Amino acid sequence: MPTKRETILQAVVSALQSHVPRAIRGEVLPERVPADGLLILRDGEPGEPGVTLSPLRYHYQHRAEIEAVVQGNDRDATFDTLCASIGSALAVDRTLGGLCDWVEAEAPRPVDLPVEGAASLKAAVIAVVLHYSTADPLA
């Protein structure tokens, strides 16, 4: 049975895939980026939890990361559309079906990356903060 953390990360990928044609988890950047862009979810850091007693609960503000990457002639517009789709995907259900207390994305900080012999990439790492509680930090 997967942990709550794993279940939440799987739910984030599912939410992204419902709005973005190409959203994957934990894979390396492929040699070719699809024309409409690519999202790669990285597990990120759960951070130090807040703890309450009676009942014992660990409260996390887990910072997962989404790498948003586009390539091609119309990078700016495609990148903007891709980032907006992340917001739309997360806004559908801010609790991921009750798995989280709240899910929110931070603003992207885009960079242009030159690629030798090909069109440059426009990319950003977008933090997604997952607020959730669990009875055990390993469960």
pLDDT in tens, 44-72: 999 999 999 999 999 999 999 999 999 98
C-alpha distance across the termini of the chain, in Å: 9
Specify the amino acid at residue 1: M
pTM: 0.92
Instruction: Report in angstroms the alpha-carbon separations of 56 from 51, 52, 73, 89, 99.
Output: 7, 6, 53, 32, 18
Q: Which CATH number fits domain 4-134: 3.30.2000.10, 3.40.50.2000, 3.30.1480.10, 3.40.109.10?
A: 3.30.2000.10
Helices (H) and strands (E) in the chain, counts: 2, 7
